[in-house]
Amino acid sequence: MTIIVVLGILVLLWVVLYLVPDLFWHHLQWGSVQGARDSHQIALTFDDGPGEDTGAILDVLAAHHAKATFFIVVEAAERHPDLIRRMVDEGHTLGLHGIRHRSMYIYAPWASIYTIWHGARLLEHLSGKPPQFYRPPWGHVNLFTWWAWKGAGLIPVFWTIAPNDWNPRKDVETISRTIVQCAVPGTIVVLHDGGGDRQRTVQALDHALPRLRQLNLDPVALETLAQDRSELRRMWTWWEVRFSKGWDIDTVPSSLGGDPVLRLGRIRFRGPRLVLTDGTTLSPGDPMAEIHFGNPALAQLSKNATGGLRAFHAVLRGLTDVADVVATNPKYHDVLAVGGITLLDASSAIEKLGFMRVKIHGWQKWSMWIYLAILMSIYHSQGWRTLKRFLKLQPVLLIMPKTHLDKHYLRRPKVVDEKEGGPRPARGC
């Protein structure tokens, strides 16, 4: 009986000292850095270095005029003081990762405190300035870790996007695609510049940075990242990143510059059998491209009473880019239609763009209404006060045949008219 009691006490202590703190600070990320969703910034961070490939990563960042934050393992830094000086000289931010790369799950209380306090002093000695940020190895946290970083004046940092570039099964395109697909304003990407061969990370970073620029995202160091204080948006961002990756949602870059307005995913049609405006029959299970509003764009469009009209024009501008993605991305080669469910006030005016309006009923109607109402309440400039107005709105499905999208919105190449010497539409327009 005594052994059972002792074991019970030990389990309870482990839960209180390790499991609960890890849940709150690692997984829920309470009190940690989170970028603002209405900014144009994204934070690139690198763990476990410096290592043999850190110099190449710095070369790529310099070539693309990007800044990053490096979470330093002090033992590795002592072997590469030249790389620490280069990081500082090139305007990157240094954060503490630990004296050694060890999980906080195996640290006793005094060891947790020592590795953070002494590690911060050692890193300051190497870099010439005290670190502001701290990220524990693997994100593992215990109660004493929290007490130690508070005492050392460090700000905890975790991540929003983890491409798992350390995994040898992840190729360059997979790493790069994960970064770009999940990237939204304010997100924090965790990559690795030490702990092994990171050539795939170097190449993936070189591929991803131009694509992030296409999405109007500026890679910055953490100390210049605009902060979002809303815990609700923080939790929604956590869900949104996983939704984008799990459902393979693509952000559609704006060819006119500025923030992307629309996102796109391939789904199977779930509504009733429809005859579209071009005569195409759309049956349950047929492939279609589902259009989503980007949430940061939604927040911007809702800032005044003309939000519905502004949304109408935003969709009008974005449909050309949607048509290009549908025409060039093999994922959408067989879709019969594009569309999505909306609550926006512009839903009736948007029919003029070529959409047909379809009422939705039953559980799908109410589940979508709740989902969209919560979404609008989080991102609308008036917050939860918008719910009263949304009670009057009904979710509707907007569907456009792919043939209409191609005919009216797909960019056509120009060829030179030999007689006139000027451009004319290519054959087939």
CA dist., res. 67 & res. 87, Å (int): 10
Q: Tell me how far CA of residue 227 lies from CA of 6, 35, 42, 127, 241, in angstroms.
A: 45, 5, 11, 25, 18
SS3 304: coil
SS3 19: helix
CA dist., res. 60 & res. 53, Å (int): 11
SS3 content of the chain, % helix, strand, coil (to 5): 50, 20, 35
Phi/psi for 424 (5° steps) reads -140, 160
SS3 32: coil
CA dist., res. 251 & res. 232, Å (int): 22
Angle among Cα 227, 228, 233 to the nearest 5 degrees reads: 155
User: Which residues does residue 70 pair with via DSSP β-bridges, in sequence order?
Assistant: 46, 94
Going by the DSSP 8-state scheme, the letter that residue 154 receives in this structure is P
Does residue 190 contact residue 159 with C-beta atoms inside 8 Å? yes
Give one DSSP letter per residue of 157-199, joined into a string.
Answer: ---SB---TTSTT--HHHHHHHHHHH--TT-EEEEESSSS--H
- Name which of 203, 208, 220, 219 is nearest 181 in CA terms: 208
Going by the DSSP 8-state scheme, the letter that residue 331 receives in this structure is G
Q: Where are the beta strands (DSSP E) in 180-325?
A: 188-192, 218-220, 250-251, 262-268, 274-275, 281-282, 287-293
CA dist., res. 182 & res. 208, Å (int): 12
Question: Which residue, chain included where needed, has tokens 């503490």?
Answer: 96
The two three-digit tokens of residue 156, written as one number:
């905890």
Strands 93-98 and 69-73: parallel
Active site residues: 47, 192
First-to-final CA distance of the chain: 85
Element (H, E) at 402: helix 402-409
Question: Which residue, chain included where needed, has tokens 């002494």?
Answer: 118
